[in-house]
Amino acid sequence: MADEFRKPRTLREIVEESQFWDAEDLIRNIDAELDRLEHGLSHLIWGNDDKPITKRIRPLPITPKFKVNESDDKFNVKVDLPNVPEDQVKIKVDKGGIEISAYTSDLVCRPYYINIESRTALNPDTTTLRHVENIYEVDVEKVKRKRVKVR
């Protein structure tokens, strides 16, 4: 009987074996499934014989604490990234907004990711970054609107 449980089965075999899903079993295991989802997704690569070849855990990113200040001519974002060195912070600025991703050297810590959109177009060439302790501050000037005279 122990060999029967160790035998790898395909999803099709499992579904055909259980004609109806047991709601009690789902409720009993929901905490474990939600914990797995919270701590990261497991990505499996399957071989031709329906056996897993590799298992790689990729933690889901979390949104850091941040503050946005937007004036008529400037867009400012302050992001709190604890224990993240400056060389591990990636900032992408385009006309639509700012995208920040950061990683720590600790494999257990989850990466940080945030995408902030601006109401008006930004000028990516004017991006400046300041770093004080855990706070990273990004300043970007907005594109100045050209006024057109109508006669």
Cα–Cα distance measured from residue 104 to residue 89, given in angstroms and rounded to the nearest whole number: 9
Tens of pLDDT, residue by residue over 11-62, are 666 666 665 556 666 677 777 666 655 555 444 555 566 665 555 555 678 8
CATH of span 65-141: 2.60.40.790
DSSP character string of the chain: -HHHHHS---HHHHHHH-SS--HHHHHHHHHHHHHHHHH-EEEEEE-TTS-EEEEEEEPPPBPPEEEEEE-SSEEEEEEE-TT--GGGEEEEEETTEEEEEE--S-SSSPPEEEEEE-SS-B-GGG-EEEEETTEEEEEEEBPPPPP----
Q: Where are the domains of the chain?
A: 2-58, 65-141
pLDDT category of residue 103 using cuts at 50, 70 and 90: confident
Please state whether the predicted TM-score (pTM) of the whole model is above 0.75: no
